[in-house]
Amino acid sequence: MNFNRSSLRTGVVTAFALTFLHAAVPPPSGPATEKRFPPLKVPPGFKATLFACDPLVEYPSVISVGPKPGAIFVAIDYMSGLGSDGVRKSDIRLVEDLDGDGYADRAAVFATGFNSIQGLAYHDGMVFVMHAPFLTALRVPLSPPAGREDAGLADERKDLLSGLGLLPENNPTRLHCANGVTVGHDGWLYLALGDNGVNIPRPEGDRLVVNGGCMLRCRPDGRDLHVFATGLRNIYDIALDAELNVFTRDNENDGGRYMNRVYHSFHGADHGYPYLYTDHPDEVLPALSNLGLGSSAGGACYLERQFPPEYHCNLFFAEWGRSVVRYPLARAGSGFAPVTEIEFAAGDSQDTYPFKPTDIIVQRDGTLMVSDYADGQRPKRGRGRIYHIAYTGTDARAADDGKPRSQSNAAKLDSESHAERREAQLALERSGGMPAWRDLGPRGRLHAIWALAHREGAKAIGELLRRAQSDPEPGVRAQAVRAVADLADPILARHKLEAGRGDASLAERLAELAKGQDPRVQLEIVVALGRLRWANAPDWLRQHLTKPDVTLQHAAMQTLRGADNWPGVVQLLDQPTGEPIRQIAVRAIAERHETTVVDALIARLASEPDAARRREYAGSLTRVYKKPGPWVYWGYRPAPKPPNPETWERTAAIEQALDRSLDDPDPDTRVVVLARMKSEKVPVRLTSLSRWLNDEYEPGRAAAILAALGERPPAEVSALAGQVVRDRRHSVANRQVALAILIKGLQNDAPAALGALARSLEDDTVLADALRQLARFAKLPARSLAAAKVHSPNPDTRAAAIDVLGDMGAEEGRVVVLELLEDTDVRVRRAAAGAAGKLAVSAANETLLKLATETDIGLRLACLESLRLLREPRVVPIAAAALNERALELPALSCLGELGGPEQAPTVAKFAKRQPTIAGLAAAVRVLTGWRDRPAVTADRRDELDRAVAEIHGTSGILARWHVSGPLPAEANQAVVERHARGGQTPDRTGWRMLFAKGPEAQVTLAPAGEDAKSQWLASTDVTVAAVTSVEFLASGRGHLEVWLNGKSIHRRGQERPFQIDSDRFEGTLDVGTNRLLVQTGSSNAAVEFHLHFRRRSSKAEHERLTRAALTRSGNAARGRNVFFNPEKSLCLKCHRLENQGERIGPDLTGLGTRFSRIYIIESILDPSRTIAPSYGTFVARLKNGQTFSGVKVAETAAGLTLADDQGRQHELAKAEIVNSSPISLMPEGLERQYTQDEFVELIAFLESLK
């Protein structure tokens, strides 16, 4: 390897020496450092030691084993830790335990001058560094001259590759580029790349370009770089097991749909990111586990023996911001069984610097090292920790002391220690001697395979083939095939990417080996045939691939593509439907812009008698209608896959073939083809749609046609839509859709055309819709038609007619409204009730007052609105009672606000304290404030109303009303701040204005963007509680933020940050009575806004633990949905309704996330009796005979009532037998015991996602 020594000396590490980096205050090392932080939580029998912390290490992004026991390399990532300016480059330090006490004593700079380091590996005297866009190699000095100033520094450095992602100046976040590097005993460097892609000039002179995240491999000197696997998002590390099976954990922490995933991978695998994994999951190698949102970091496979047996061959990965997790592995066919995540190590909840693990390594002695960023990137305090984890149980093995053994290398090749086997393999490769195969066990033979391949090169292929045929262990046979593939792959053998086909005779020999082989050997053979680009692979797979599992199917698909024998592949489409190879071939041709493939699909689409196959062929054609354009990075949260933009030589032929398919004899096939054409933006001819629609009356298929028509210019399809509206053979729903399409296309003649259409329709729901639409365009025709239809025999038509007349204030409506209020159909009564107020029919008041107490919620709502418009004061007690109904809260408050007064303040305040919806609470505060500001209200009454608002704040934790002042100069008198921050008497607020918070999290917008960057704002509100209350405040703001409670600053954040709900959390204590909160904030040209609310801390430790988890972690809504609908986990559907499932005993959960804050949802589950919806309050009824029943009132008469309990059972009780009753929540206490912490977090994420 040609290293540049001079550039290293002058540009990188000049004058650095092996010295301590910091003074010993605080203690730099040793047991005293343990006192600085709470201990790491590990399973029983394990011990975590704080091997190193700041000041010895800071911002540790990745770590690697060191050149000797007790030493590790640590990447100090200043470029990410100190911000994006890149002024200070990143370092690598050699951190050593010199006295063997288990604590680091020294941290020396090994090399410096790197971009953000995300990958680090030590192997055979070399350190490999991934720091985008470079892969760099550093040589560890073997015997540095004693006394030299730079003894111990890397003495040689070379950038092996460039183009691994983006330069730092083009990627301020430093993300999704060059990540981990892992060294396999097969002699390859495995490189983990994020989805910014790569554009790499190879040492051989050609260029490797990959658009998206991937795994690459290269030799330790950078040669023979090639793609190993694709379809990944942002993998940070690659883990290899003892048989060189490849694993990774992809990450998603940006709120998208991809989620964390654990993958087994192999050469040529496509994992499907960003589009295939959702759109065509059968074409990707599936994950071993789909997890929630998170940010996966470094990982390793445990291949030593210091840990107990259940940990052997486990994957260990760091989940940034949370914990170290593990996954036990089990083989399943050619791949691996799904894995389960088990938490292994986690930080203490009281840790001042939350545990943020970044990397994991397995030491030679079998113990683990875990690097911890500690404290994140902000604030920039230079924290960092390295933990050492060992098993110390009674059955623990003694850790390897690292001293040389007297055994031969051949004996070491069978060692239980993977590290020792690797060392023995390297020694054998150097010495040239090979032990006899018969003298080696299975472990030794695994390594001997690679020692032979590395020493003999292509000359070893014959022996490797014999090993592949005869070795008794399938793992060894599989390794032999893999070694042959590495030696014969034309890209590697000829050292160029465009290398053509490999040795066909060798491919035939490999194919012969597949008969009767173990699935893992079959997998390696199929992969090898693909790498050799064997032209006969399609026919061979047809004959031999009889019952492939999912992993083998994916490998076969990729081999069919690599064979570059498209005539042979398309012939497989004619195999019987049940043959696995046929479906594999269908997947293999997907998105292949090959004329041979397209022509074959078009021919089969025209002649195939089987409808299901025709659908497959049409679907495949839509995906190659056009070609992809130049690659543009899709961002951290890719939008759905855009249609390909560029035409090619088969675009016109594909369009014509698909258009013919819209006349397919099978109507369901037409629907499928139409949907695929729409998805891929293949033009659909209007004549084809029209011809089809003229004979199609099946509701689902007609709806598909109408949906396609709705995407065309309205003027083109209005006549066709009109035909559907008039044709009663179509379903009502489709006629309504057609009416909407027609109305979009109406031009200047809209009144006449729509009027003529409406007059031509028979009385039904469609006419009712048309009548309402006509009123938008032509009031006169609509008025006359509505007047003529108020006595229609169809109730929908009658209801629409009075609706229209009411909206117009038409006299014709006044004449009939009283009559329609007595209609037998509730829809008509509802519409008439709404019209009465608009028509100012005061004679309807008595009837409206009566109807306002009926059971139909829509009717009651209409009555409340009309009685408010009619200024009927007798509605006030009805409105007050209506506050007990969720659906009537807002109209009832409107009535009370306009027609009531301060006398109703206790009712409104009581309502607001019962935890209504956010909108209901805000409306209640507005009503109280409106009464407060009436001219005739006395000062004492005004104070009472202000106290009511403060009590609502105190009960709910939602701070709905604020007094604000600003913009103020930055140098505003601090005495002003302190005067308004103090509790007690209200200060003079002359010039202050009142603002109301908005949204579920009570957000307050003080000023739009563009205000003076140096200005500041003050916002003040009062909170009244009945007892001393310990609370946690949750807040956020774009700019600086300081919060004062009763004159004391309880939270201060100086720097600006993006607005993120609940990003700031801090504690406080509310005193008995009224407390004053003051927020001081500002922003540099961005909108000035903040939010602040609080929650009562639970006295139950388990409640508090779950609450904190749900507030600080991003759950997986999809997995939370599974928890919600799992009857063994959740009883929710026995009382609540969602998506047309469940009972109506409790509140409907539709739209929950828009109506309630996250903390409300959490507390409703953990402490349900604190948040009872009045209309769903549970009555506990004790009878004279001593029996007790509890449940929601679902029916009540003068003589009795019916209760529905939490199991859905109904109990009819005679009122005369009830001794007393009291309200509680029907939701059972202790629900949290049914969920793990992860399940609870995911359930909350699902409920919050119900928008």
Higher model confidence: residue 1104 or residue 1210? 1210
Amino acid type, 1209: R
pLDDT at 1134: 59
What pLDDT sits at residue 1145?
Answer: 55
What was the pLDDT predicted at 143? Answer: 64
SS (H, E, C) 299-311: EEECCCCCCCHHH
Any idea what the Cα angle at residue 894 is, between residues 889 and 896, rounded to 5°?
95
Asked whether the beta carbons of 512 and 526 are under 8 A apart, the reply is no
pLDDT at 1208: 54
Ramachandran class of 113: left when φ > 0, alpha when ψ lies in -120 to 50, beta otherwise: left
First to last CA, the chain: 60
Alpha-carbon gap, residue 110 to 96, rounded angstroms? 12
Please state the φ and ψ torsions of residue 534, each to the nearest 5 degrees: -70, 120
Q: Residue type at 658?
A: L
Higher pLDDT, 255 or 103: 103
Tokens 């909160």 locate to: 1077
Amino acid identity for residue 931 in this structure: W
What pLDDT is stored for residue 960 in this prediction?
94
Instruction: Provide the whole-model pTM.
Output: 0.76
Calculate mean pLDDT across residues 379-405: 77
Same CATH fold, 1178-1224 and 5-391? Answer: no
Give the pLDDT of residue 1104.
65
Residue that has been written with the tokens 């090399």 in this structure: 111
Give dist(CA 968, CA 974) in Å, integer.
12
pLDDT in tens, 126-175: 999 999 999 999 999 876 545 444 445 888 999 999 999 998 888 877 78
Fold of 5-391: Neuraminidase (2.120.10)
In a 3-state reduction of DSSP, which class is residue 115? coil
In the structure, what pLDDT confidence band is assigned to residue 1102 with cuts at 50, 70 and 90?
Answer: low
pLDDT tens profile 968-1011? 876 656 777 877 887 777 788 888 999 999 887 789 998 887 65
Per-residue pLDDT, averaged over 1025-1048, amounts to 89
Which pLDDT belongs to residue 377? 46
Q: For residues 65 and 70, give the distance between their C-alpha atoms in angstroms, rounded to a whole number.
A: 9
616-649 per-position pLDDT tens digit: 999 999 999 999 999 999 888 788 888 899 999 9
Closest alpha carbon to 1240 in 1129, 1097, 1153 = 1129
CA dist 373 to 63, 79, 297, 319, 598, Å?
A: 11, 13, 11, 12, 53
Q: Report, at the CATH architecture level, how domain 957-1097 is classified.
A: Sandwich (2.60)
Q: Give the dihedral sign, CA 1184/1187/1190/1196.
A: negative
Alpha carbons 611 and 670: distance in angstroms, whole number? 10
pLDDT tens per residue, range 94-123: 999 999 999 999 999 999 999 999 999 999
Q: Calculate what percentage of the chain has a pLDDT beyond 70.
A: 85
In this structure, the strands spanning 226-232 and 269-270 are: parallel
Which of the four pLDDT bands, split at 50, 70 and 90, describes residue 1224?
very low
Cβ–Cβ < 8 Å for 365, 28:
no
State the greatest distance between any 2 C-alpha atoms of the chain, in Å, as a whole number: 111
Locate 375 and state its tokens: 């404290």
Helix/strand/coil for 1005:
strand
Q: Alpha-carbon distance 489 to 472, whole Å?
A: 26
- Is-contact 246 228, C-beta < 8 A? yes
Pick from 383, 360, 356: nearest CA to 372: 356
User: With contact defined as beta carbons under 8 Å apart, do 525 and 492 qualify?
Assistant: no
Nearest-CA neighbor of 485 among 470, 471, 465?
465
Given a cut of 70, whether residue 86 has pLDDT beyond it is: no
Instruction: Work out the mean pLDDT of the chain and round it to a whole number.
Output: 87
Element (H, E) at 121: strand 119-123
Taking a C-beta distance cutoff of 8 angstroms, is the pair 387, 48 a contact? yes
The answer regarding whether domain 1178-1224 maps to CATH 1.10.357.10 reads: no
Instruction: Identify whether the C-beta of residue 104 lies closer than 8 Å to the C-beta of residue 51.
Output: yes
Query: What is the arithmetic mean of pLDDT over 1136-1140?
Result: 64
Reply yes or no on whether the pLDDT at 548 is more than 60: yes
Left if phi > 0, otherwise alpha if psi is -120 to 50, otherwise beta: which for 1054? Answer: alpha
Respond yes or no on whether the N-terminal peptide bond of residue 902 is cis (omega within 30° of 0): no
Q: Helix or strand or coil: residue 99? A: coil
Report the C-alpha gap between 228 and 271 in whole angstroms. 12
Grade residue 714 by pLDDT with cuts at 50, 70 and 90: confident
Gap between the Cα atoms of 179 and 196, Å rounded: 11
pLDDT tens per residue across span 577-606: 999 999 999 999 999 999 999 999 999 999
pLDDT, tens digit, for every residue of 922-962?
Answer: 999 999 999 999 999 999 999 999 999 999 999 989 999 99
pLDDT at 980: 83
Reported as a pLDDT band with limits 50, 70 and 90, residue 779 is confident
pLDDT over 90 at 1162, yes or no? no
Residue pLDDT, tens place only, 1164-1174: 777 665 444 44
Q: Decide which of 1.25.10.10, 1.10.3720.10, 3.40.50.2300, 3.40.50.2000 is the CATH code for 778-872.
A: 1.25.10.10
Domain ranges of the chain: 5-391, 406-501, 778-872, 874-944, 957-1097, 1101-1175+1229-1248, 1178-1224
**Residue 252 CB contacts under 8 Å (≥ 6 apart), including other chains:** 233, 234, 258, 259, 260, 293, 294
- pLDDT digits over 571-585, tens only? 999 999 999 999 999
Q: Stretch 1202-1216: mean pLDDT, rounded?
A: 69
Alpha-carbon distance of 947 to 953, in angstroms, equals: 10
pLDDT tens per residue, range 49-68: 999 998 899 999 999 999 99
Section 193-212 average pLDDT: 97
In the predicted structure, residue 379 carries a pLDDT above the cut 50: no
Determine the 3-state secondary structure of 809 from DSSP: coil
Using alpha carbons, select from 695, 643, 705, 699 the residue that is nearest to residue 670: 705
Give the separation between CA 127 and CA 296, rounded to whole angstroms.
23
Domain 1101-1175+1229-1248 = CATH 1.10.760.10:
yes
CA distances from 540 to 334, 537, 562, 635 (A): 19, 5, 14, 41
